[in-house]
Structure 1
Amino acid sequence: MAKPLTPPEALHRAAALCSSAEHCKADILDKLTRWGISPADSRTIIDRLVQERFIDEPRYAIAFVKDKFRFSGWGRIKIRYALQQKRIASSDIDAALACLDEEQYTQRLLDLLRAKARSTTGDDTEARRAKLFRFATSRGFESNLIFNALKQIEP
């Protein structure tokens, strides 16, 4: 069994983690807990990381939004929910989601729906539309945008 980390060692390890990739307070707190660091020491370490800008939640939220939209094809609803699970402030979430370009967002939805439509079977038009709608909502896109996109891809 590995020896437990001391608070200075945990601070150093957490700083190294934060310098290699964006992390939020909740991520680091989970790591510190797994490393056996007390809650009081964890708060001190996190405060120091925030003070030295290793952790910056608005910056984290922007990076998270861009990555999940670009690489995972998630919509605003799913991204917002994931950030809320990481205990990011609503104002930071709103600011990060505002960074998404509306034209790219709509185009991404259209591309996802077209790709899914090619692999969706069924003769009934309404059944296909329902499948595509469920797919897009599971990706976190807004229903009004989905309806508009479905009108564009299926006459």
Structure 2
Amino acid sequence: MEYYCSYQERCYKEVEEKLFLLKASNLEKEKVLMYLIENNFINEERFAKSFVRGKFNYKNWGKIRIKNELKFRNLSNKLIEIALKEIDENNYVEKFHLLAEKNWETIKERKGPKKNKKFVDFLSRKGYESHLIYEKLRELDN
């Protein structure tokens, strides 16, 4: 389990699920998890910050999707807010605009409701805020 936690950041839930798959008893799970936490193999804050940086920089995810994914992994709201500070606001907006413009150009539909829907759906799935999406749509649709 040390190796499992050391080659990639893991959260408590992921390690717990792995132990379940390995059919560890409750007592064994508890001992292993305590050991991993005490020896800093599991650190939720470090995991959250790494997750935010990775998903934003490499997958181009927005804050909403990142936040939902971290909630799914049972991280606290406070920890999520701390981790989201890893994203520079100017960089976030710049990446959003680049992604939006690139997507707008790749949609084969002519201007109109179909193209607008595809555009909005794509950016919503990526987890960007609706006010940013509709603002950009108004800008590009003119």
| TM-score when normalising by structure 2 | 0.92
Aligned twin of 2:98: 111
Residue deviations 1:38-71 (CA, integer Å, cap 9, x gap): 1222122111111111100001000000000111
Deviates more, 1:117-126 or 1:55-64: 117-126
1:100 lines up with 2:91 in the alignment: no
Q: 1:39 aligns with which of 7, 11, 26?
A: 26
RMSD (Å), alpha carbons? 1.5
Deviates more, 1:45-54 or 1:145-154: 145-154
Aligned twin of 1:59: 46
Paired residues for 1:6-45 under 5 Å: 14-45=1-32
Could you say if the C-alpha distance between residues 103 and 153 of structure 1 is closer, same or farther in structure 2, counting changes exceeding 3 Å? farther
Deviates more, 1:127-136 or 1:21-30: 127-136
Paired residues for 1:57-136 under 5 Å: 57-136=44-123
- How far does residue 149 in structure 1 lie from its aligned partner after superposition? 2.7
Secondary structure in structure 2 of the residue aligned to 1:99: coil
Residue deviations 1:47-102 (CA, integer Å, cap 9, x gap): 11111111000010000000001111111111111111111111111110122111
Instruction: State the aligned residue count.
Output: 142
1:149 lines up with 2:108 in the alignment: no
Q: Which stretches of structure 1, 4 residues or longer, exceed 6 Å deviation after superposition?
A: none
Contact 1:110 1:153 (C-alpha < 8 Å) held by counterparts: no
Q: What amino acid is the match of 2:39?
A: E
Q: Give the unaligned 5+ runs of structure 2.
A: none
Contact 2:111 2:141 (C-alpha < 8 Å) held by counterparts: no
Contact 1:109 1:149 (C-alpha < 8 Å) held by counterparts: no
Deviates more, 1:107-116 or 1:51-60: 107-116
| Bigger CA radius of gyration | 1
Contact 1:26 1:87 (C-alpha < 8 Å) held by counterparts: yes
Partners in 1 of 2:30 and 2:117 — Cα distance?
A: 48
| TM-score when normalising by structure 1 | 0.84
Aligned twin of 1:8: none
% identical aligned pairs:
26
